[in-house]
Amino acid sequence: MWKYYQPNPAGRNVGDCVVRALSAVTGMTWEEAFCELCSDAYYMADMPSSNGVLSAALRKRGFYRYVIPDKCPDCYSIENFCREHPLGVFVAGTGSHVVAVIDGNYLDSWDSGNEIPVYYWKKEKEAMIDDF
């Protein structure tokens, strides 16, 4: 089920899905998530919204990435993913969008339930940021 989630302090929808997703699954504020992504992006010489930067941030926190099988590429949606994953903390990616999924609900600033996920990150264990 979709849960409206818009932590942007100005309430803007500005292509910040990576910041929103990281904020939702970590409990960080939008500002904290944004600053961490920007810092990592600087050191990686990449953009804060890139898959590589988000991947690094999630990996530091005990998330592991999985590919969604390509059995029905046009019929499997974020909503389907949520029904199949009623428990746990995830970030689902479509290739052009990412969305936080927590205990079967997708948290986003718009109803992205019909988007087609191609991969997801699952929180598997606790990790310390300093471990990396």
**The model's pTM:** 0.90
Q: From the CA atom positions of the chain, what is the Rg in Å? A: 14
Q: Tell me, yes or no, whether 3 lies in a domain.
A: no
- The parent domain of residue 117 ranges over 16-124
**pLDDT tens, position by position, for the chain (132 residues)?**
999 999 999 998 889 999 999 999 999 999 999 999 999 999 999 999 999 999 999 999 999 999 998 877 678 999 999 999 999 999 999 989 999 999 999 999 999 999 999 999 999 866 555 444
The rounded distance, in Å, linking the Cα atoms of 132 and 130 is 5
Q: Tell me, yes or no, whether 132 lies in a domain.
A: no
Q: Tell me, yes or no, whether 21 lies in a domain.
A: yes
Q: Tell me, yes or no, whether 107 lies in a domain.
A: yes
Token pair recorded at residue 69: 């099988």
Number of independent structural domains in the chain: 1
What's the start-to-end Cα distance of the chain, in Å? 34
Q: For residue 20, how many other CB atoms are within 10 A of its CB?
A: 23
